[in-house]
Amino acid sequence: MKVAVMGDPDTALGFKLAGAHEVYSFGDGPLEIERLRNKLRELIEAGDVGIILITEPLAQKIEMPDVKFPIILQVPDKSGSRFGEAQLREIVRRAIGVELKR
Amino acid sequence: MAELLNVKPTRMELLNLKRRIQLAKKGHKLLKDKQDALIMEFFTIYDEALNLRRELNEKMEVAFEALLRAQLSAGNLRLQEAALSVKPNREVEIRKRNIMGVPVPLIEAESFKRAAAERGYAFVSTSPEVDAAADKFEEVLDLAVRLAEVEETLKRLAKEIETTKRRVNALEYIIIPRMEVTVKFIKQRLDEIERENFFRLKRVKALIEARSQAGA
């Protein structure tokens, strides 16, 4: 199954060099966000995409669909990670009821 | 105070309820065990996810630095040209696996790392920095695929723990107490009927005795 990447132009370029199967780059602006939303839906419905990597800033801009397949993973972009660990902590807090420091 | 179940206070119902309480308690114990096991599993995976996350962040930083160098040495336009001619990498295989009855994904992927010659761009128009950047991003891709599996597993386990917790609590704090209160109610009611009956018999006996004395 394919690995798809959605990110800003630089991230897209990097993953394209690595040979990710489908790479889409998005800029800022309302039209781009609309395009992002449509593309994400399209990728989810495509069926042959197994993993979608999406940069954290882009993921923050749209509501992430709650699907079991494909797997959607948020990756940091060139400005570094801001939400990755916080999201993990949030999952733990919801499941266990207390926050953990590790 | 738990409210009563809407049942008639009969011996039949009492027996029924007692059986149901036993069943509910058994179910509660099983669910509680399941919850404990899930939480233990969850923590192992949580540690793994956290480590992978941190590693990914570091690798990503390194990769972007390499990309920047490539952009500087080859020029953005040429780099984009090179990226266009890169051959797609290997595909991944996604299977399912069970942890405590929770379906979680299992991703089978070979390493995305390739030799520079396999990538498909022309060496004449690129530089070693481009190779380095591609190399680093292949590493990131490897890591991201592993993290995808672990994080998805974590999410599903978390969801399962939530529903199990809800069920355990519902049994423990609502369903079982409610049935117990009802059992108590039925017992009291039955005792009451018993006493009424006893008194009625005594009364009848007294009446009969009084009548037979009057007759004699």
pLDDT band at A101 (very low <50, low <70, confident <90, very high): low
B131 contact A CB<8A: no
Query: What is the C-alpha separation between B167 and B170, in angstroms, rounded?
Result: 5
Would you say B118 and B65 are in contact if contact means Cβ atoms under 8 Å apart?
no
Q: Which of B138, B155, B158 sits opposite A18 (nearest CB)?
A: B138
Q: Cβ of B94 and A78 within 8 Å? A: no
**Helix, strand or coil for residue A71?**
strand
Q: Which residues of B touch A78 (CB under 8 A)?
A: 64
Q: State how far residue A87 is from chain B, nearest Cα, in angstroms.
A: 10
Q: Cβ of B67 and A10 within 8 Å? A: yes
Q: Tell me: the pLDDT tens digits for B150-177?
A: 999 999 999 999 999 999 999 999 999 9
Nearest to A84 by CA among B148, B67, B66: B148
Contacts of B181 (CB under 8 A, 6+ apart): B1, B2, B3, B4
* pLDDT score of B75 more than 60: yes
Contacts of B153 (CB under 8 A, 6+ apart): B45, B99, B104, B105
Amino acid at B55: E
Q: State how far residue A10 is from chain B, nearest Cα, in angstroms.
A: 8
Q: Which residues of B touch A92 (CB under 8 A)?
A: 42, 46, 158
Q: State how far residue A29 is from chain B, nearest Cα, in angstroms.
A: 23
Q: Residue A62 has what pLDDT?
A: 87
Q: Which of A21, A51, A81 sits opposite B148 (nearest CB)?
A: A51
* pLDDT score of B96 more than 70: yes
Q: Residue A102 has what pLDDT?
A: 60
What average pLDDT is seen over chain B? 90
Q: Tell me: the pLDDT tens digits for B118-146?
A: 888 878 878 888 889 999 999 999 999 99
Q: Tell me: the pLDDT tens digits for B99-120?
A: 888 889 998 888 888 888 888 8
User: What residues does A77 pair with on adjacent strands?
Assistant: A80
What average pLDDT is seen over chain A? 86
Query: What is the C-alpha separation between B47 and B129, in angstroms, rounded?
Result: 34
pLDDT band at A100 (very low <50, low <70, confident <90, very high): low
Q: Which domains does chain B have, with CATH numbers?
A: 11-215 (1.10.287.3240)
Query: What is the C-alpha separation between B68 and A86, in angstroms, rounded?
Result: 28
Q: Tell me: the pLDDT tens digits for A87-98?
A: 888 888 888 877
Phi and psi of A4, rounded to 5°?
Answer: -110, 145
Calculate mean pLDDT across residues B67-92.
Answer: 88
Token duo for residue A70 = 């494909």
User: What residues does B114 pair with on adjacent strands?
Assistant: none
* pLDDT score of B1 more than 70: no
Q: Which residues of B touch A94 (CB under 8 A)?
A: 158, 162
ipTM attached to this prediction: 0.87
The secondary structure element, H or E, covering residue B69 is helix B11-74
Token duo for residue A25 = 């780059």
Token duo for residue B148 = 């995808």
pLDDT band at A24 (very low <50, low <70, confident <90, very high): very high
Q: Residue B140 has what pLDDT?
A: 92
Q: Which residues of B touch A16 (CB under 8 A)?
A: 83-84, 86
Dihedral angle of Cα A53, A58, A64, A67, to the nearest 10 degrees? -20
User: For testing the chain A interface, which of B52, B84, B161 should be mutated: the one with the most A CBs within 10 Å?
Assistant: B161
Query: What is the C-alpha separation between A26 and B77, in angstroms, rounded?
Result: 18
Strand pairing class (B93-99; B102-108): antiparallel
Question: Which residues of A fall below an 8 Å CB-CB distance to B?
Answer: 1-3, 10, 13-21, 50-51, 53, 69-71, 73, 75-78, 80-81, 84-85, 88, 91-92, 94-96, 100, 102
Dihedral sign (CA B9, B15, B20, B21)? positive
pLDDT band at A80 (very low <50, low <70, confident <90, very high): confident
Q: Residue B76 has what pLDDT?
A: 86
Q: State how far residue A56 is from chain B, nearest Cα, in angstroms.
A: 12
pLDDT band at A64 (very low <50, low <70, confident <90, very high): confident
Q: Residue B128 has what pLDDT?
A: 87
Q: What is the pTM of this model?
A: 0.83
Q: Residue B25 has what pLDDT?
A: 96
Q: Tell me: the pLDDT tens digits for B182-213?
A: 999 999 999 999 999 999 999 999 999 999 99
* pLDDT score of A29 more than 60: yes
Q: Tell me: the pLDDT tens digits for A43-52?
A: 999 888 989 9
- The fold adopted by the segment(s) A2-77 is Rossmann fold (3.40.50)
Q: Tell me: the pLDDT tens digits for B42-64?
A: 989 999 999 999 999 999 999 99
